[in-house]
Every structure is written in C-alpha cells, then in structure tokens.
Structure 1
Amino acid sequence: MISEKTLPTTVVGSYPAVVGSGGLRALLDPLKPAREIAVSDQISAGIDIISDGQVGRDMIALIADFLPGVKGQDVTGQIHPAGKPITLPGVKYALSRHPSVKGILTGPSTLAHGLALKTPVYRDRNELIPDLAQALAQEARYLADAGVTILQMDEPILSTGTADLSVAHEAVSIIVDKVTIPSCMHVCGNVRGCIDEILRFPVDILDFEFANNPDNLEVLSRSDLKGRKIGFGCVDSADKEVESVEVIAERITKGIDIFGAESMLIDPDCGLRMHSREGAFKKLENMVLAADQCRQEL
C-alpha cells in the first residue's frame, strides 16, 4: 500500500544540495551533510513519502558515472549493470529516518538521450536503451529489497517528441517487471502530444506537472487512469516565488474535481534543486499545509 492517508504528500526529485560543515565525516562521504539536511527538511515539512534528496550529481551523471561502458558523458562500450548499488546508500539513510521513502531513478530513455554514442556497439540510442534498462532494473531490485515504498522513474524526455515512445515503453517494462512494489513514472512538461502513449506504460502511478502546465488538466481524466494513481504536481518548481497555501490548495481542489482525492499523490511539479534551501523548504511546507486543508474539506 502506498499510503493509508488520503492525499499523501511526496516529492518528485532533487532538493538543494546544502554544503555542510567539514570534518572527517565529510571527507569520508562528501554528500552526507547535504543528504542529512535534505532528509531532515522533508521530515520537518511533514512530507509523507520522502526521498534521499538526490543531492549528488545531475540526473544523468547520477547513474551514468557508475555504469561500465560509460566514461563521462560518452558511451564507450557495451553497457553493463554497475558492480554495486548506486543510489542505495542515500536511500538507506533516508529509510533510517523515515518509514516511507521513494526510490528515484533516471529513466532509460532520458539517460540515453543525455549521453553521446562513441562506440560502434550501438548504432543508435534505441539500441542503447534496452541495455540501460537492464542496468537500471538491477538498481531497482536493490531499492525494492531495501524497502522503498515507491520506485519512481524520471522520463522528462518523453514529452519533448525526441524519444521513441515504443522503445521507452519496452524499457520501462523491463524495469517494472523486476519489482513488486508500486512503480511511478514522472514526465515533465506538457503531455498533450504524448498522453495516449504514456497511458499505456505499465506503471502504477503517472506523475505530471499541473502547476506550471495547467493544460495537462485538460488532457487527462479519472477514467483514463483505469484505477491507477496520479502524482499531482501542484507546486511550480520553475518559479522561485513561494506559492501561498491558498493557491496550492486551489490547485489541489481542481485535481480532486477531475481525478478524485483517492487517486492523488500530492507533490511538486519537479525537483527543487535550483531553489534556495529556505525557498524549497517553504514550498514543501506550504504544500503539506494545503493538502491538510483539502483533506479536512473532503
């Protein structure tokens, strides 16, 4: 079960990587202070399903730096799974602090389009994507075995018209088939041009941005979900201004009218990495307060 609470709150992606104090622990694990701050802030804000904050590298390097067959941003040979877990250490820390944690992976199509082919092993990215999916499937198993509540795959490339959606579908299927926990796919941007294909992906939760892209409210209905849940982006991650509780609650109410409260997870449109720590925290805090307000009005 994802959550017993109606309108559970969660996050989508990264949190500001706050530079912590020095000392031995920072030398042993430079990301530890930033990770601790990200997890602590999410808990303090009242988030129901937190993440480890994704405070390290960007979403491509976060995975690619550890895959055999990749050097920097270049694919130099055949892709193989990493020799050890990539994201698990941060997720384990989050799980030590909070019972409900979302494991987040960069999706195979987005990952492929962030890399340059420098090897004859792959003729194009469509040949690369299945091998990336196999590598990510192993990481997904690590996360599931560790006890994450949700496995999220980030596929912002799917709304751009750049990716082959049939190849993307098969790649996501490879990952989802390896786990039994609820799966989620996050797609940024306006999904009007790809929603029919995305609805066919075999995931339990579809996560879209609705604050910065209200047009998405016009292309999706409760019946389209067919019993699945919707990650409802109601905080504009692209806007440095902190929306009021009332503004966020109004957005959530529109979502309830369309999808029903029982189908919704409440989250920001995307990651908050580019915000200040204070701004990111306040956005999450106001989102939690807005969800509470909507919950009380049901």
Structure 2
Amino acid sequence: MSQHQNANKDQFRPEDHAAEHFLLTTVVGSYPKPKWLNRAKELYRDPEHGFDADDYQEAKDDAARLITNEHERAGLDVVVDGEMRRNEMVEYFAHRIDGYEFNGPVKVWGHNYFDKPSVVSEVEYDETWLVDEYEFTASATDRPVKVPITGPYTLANWSFNEAYDDEESLAYDLADLVNEEIAKLVEAGARYIQIDEPALATTPDDHAIVGECLERIVADIPEDVRIGLHVCYGDYSRIYPEILEFPVDEFDLELANGDYDQLEVFKDPEFTKDLAFGVVDVHDAEVESVEDIERNIEKGLEIVPPEQLVVSPDCGVKLLPREVAYGKMKNMVEAARNVEKRLDEGDLEVQSRAAPADD
C-alpha cells in the first residue's frame, strides 16, 4: 500500500460522519440524463429553432447542477455531475485533443453506431478538457467532487490510428496529455481523479502498456491527489495480481453483475490497494434492497479491511431509468452506513491485515 493511501482516503470523510469506521460512498461517473436535456440537444442541432449555443449551455449547466444535487440527496460522500456534458467516453475527449478528426459513425453492434475518431497527426494538448466542468460542479456542492477521465489506452484502442507506428506509442503520447490535464485539474482544486480504462478488460495482455501509461499520468502529481483506475467487465484473473503494481490508490471493479463469481481472484495474493467495490448491478433495472447491498458490501470485506473499501455501483448508471439510478444510490449509501455501524459495534467480523514483516 502506498504510504499516503489511508490519509488520501480520509480526506473525503465528512466532518459530521458519526461512525468510527468510514466506507467512502461514490459513483463511477455517468448518470441518466434528464429527458429535457436530450430534447435541448435536438433543438440546438435543429437550424429551424432559435435555440442557440447559450441556451444549450444553460441547459447543460442546469442538468449538471440537478444531478450533482441528486447525488447529494442520495447521501454520497463524493459526487460527480453524472457526465451531463459528455456524449460518449472517447468521442468527448477526441473533440478536445489536437490530432483527432471524425469521419462519420461506425457500426459497432446491432443497430448501434459509434462516432469513432481517427488519429491523423501527432496528438497535442491545447485547451483544458474538464477544468470548467470540474469548477462548475465544485461550485454547485460543498462535497468533494470526483473527476472521471477516459484513459489513454482506451483513447488509443478505440480510435483509428493513421499517424503512429503502433498503438503503444500513441497511448504513451496520450498519457502525457492526460498528465497535463490532471495537473490543471489539481491546480483548480481537484483531489480525486478516476482513470477509466474499459479497453484493458478486452485486451488484458496489454496490462504492461497500461502500467507505463499510468506511470506517465501520475508523474509529478501531488500525493494527496487520489488516483483511481476503473476497469469494467472482464476476466480479472488475466490482469491480477499484475495490476497491483500500477501507481494508483484505488481500483474500481465490476463484480455485482457477475454475481461475485470472481471474488476469489483477489484473495491471493493479498489485495494491497484500496478497492472501490461494485455493490449494485447497473444492468439490472430493479433497485436492490438495503439488506442485499449490505450483504454485497460484506463480500468486499472478504478482500480488504474497511479502511481500504470504497462502496460504489458496478459501473456508470446512465442506461438505467433515472428513478432506478437514484434508488440504487440511496439504498447503497444507507447500506454502507448500516455496515459502518455494525463494524463499530463489533457485530461484523472482518479479516484484519497482519502487519508486514520487516525485510
């Protein structure tokens, strides 16, 4: 475990948190957009309407403020704006990185299309990507704000490469740009950054490339800035325990959707980082009961002790009905607080970590 890790998590503990134990609650990132925001986007794109850029900006601001408030009402310790300003996790960033261009949508499965970008020249950092988004969200809440960023490996893997000799060198250049953006975010006050690398789960043999990308990303980033890595939906046995070498504080993993079939993967060797543990299934439109979520949290405590556990959904919840997403968040927070109380009272036994032997 990195030396700053526990203090790194404790900085997000609310001042009025009554329990001795603290299971940090947060979300992965995306959240269902209000239906009127999608309508506003249609109006903005329709030249027949007088709905201009300022009108659309106001709609996005209102949505971001609304969802941030919804996260507060659910009781989350760390909030995001639900990615109200983002369309798709690669496309959004590709529009902001010099060297990318778009040539039209590509069919990816069924009747679904993805506006897959092409890298046509060396990628370069120009204007900031997320600083305005972060500053707006931070001004709309008194709670800590997490900033999700699509990672360089996924930005490279999910794009056409027409400029670099190989995907690896493209990913490394993108990692340097992500490092620049994080430095700007830190300057603006951000203390919790999540790198999203869904492509790692589909190409696990490239974990060494992702590791090198992360080394570049965290270079010269202050130790009090919490860096998480989100990897969803894959065979984790193909990247564990290698990922423990990655220079991050927290791994955010999807396990609820697979009914915790992969739980044993992380028990040997010992999980030495913080674990953001998916306790609600984002592919299930039923709201789990508080009791069921408590049992899921207990499964996380089979892997790490409470001080290393973060409670979150499996993944982004944007595809759920909004009332379902809110119900899951609210029950998740209540379950976490109940588990904290049981830990405080000694009603829940957990495996304690043995002190490391001196070398």
Which band: TM-score by shorter chain? over 0.9
1:260 aligns with one of 286, 305, 310: 305
Q: Per-residue deviation at 1:162?
A: 5.6
| Alignment partners' CA distance in 2, 1:167 and 1:256 | 30
Per the alignment, residue 34 of structure 1 pairs with: 63
> Which residue does the alignment assign to 1:13?
29
Q: Is the counterpart of residue 60 in structure 1 residue 90 in structure 2?
A: yes
Q: Distance in 2 between matches of 1:68 and 1:29?
A: 27
Shift in CA distance, 60/249, structure 1 to aligned 2, threshold 3 Å: same
Q: Among all aligned residue pairs of Structure 1 and Structure 2, give the percentage whose two residues are the same amino acid.
A: 33
Aligned-partner Cα distance in 1 for 2:321–2:66 = 13
Distance 1:32 1:132, change over 3 A: same
RMSD of equivalent CA atoms: 1.9
Distance 1:197 1:222, change over 3 A: closer
**Aligned pair count?**
294
Cα deviation per residue 1:179-209 (whole Å; 9 max; x = unaligned)?
1211111111231211122111111111111
Q: What residue number does 2:108 align with? A: none
| TM-score under structure 1 length normalisation | 0.93
Q: 1:93 aligns with which of 136, 145, 148?
A: 136
Which runs of structure 1 show a deviation greater than 6 angstroms over 4 or more consecutive aligned residues? 21-24
2:228 aligned partner: 184
The answer for the alignment partner of 1:116 in structure 2 is 160
Distance 1:258 1:225 in 2: 7
- TM-score, with structure 2 as normaliser: 0.77
CA–CA distance in structure 1, aligned partners of residues 198 and 57 of structure 2: 33
* Residue 330 (structure 2) pairs with residue 285 (structure 1): yes
Q: Give distance in 2, aligned partners of 1:28 and 1:107.
A: 26
Offset, 1:57: 1.5
Partner of 1:103: 147
State the SS of the aligned residue for 1:39: helix
**SS of residue paired to 2:25:** coil
Write out aligned runs for 1:35-184 (5 A): 35-55=64-84, 56-72=86-102, 73-81=117-125, 83-96=126-139, 97-119=141-163, 122-161=164-203, 164-180=206-222, 181-184=225-228
Q: Secondary structure at the match of 2:92?
A: helix
Q: Distance in 2 between matches of 1:278 and 1:168?
A: 36
Bigger shift: 90-99 or 245-254?
90-99
Q: Compared with structure 1, are the counterparts of its residues 275 and 99 closer, same or farther at alpha carbon in structure 2 (3 Å cutoff)? A: same
Contiguous gaps of at least 5 residues in structure 2: 1-7, 41-50, 103-116, 344-359
Q: CA deviation at 1:223?
A: 6.1
Q: CA deviation at 1:29?
A: 4.3
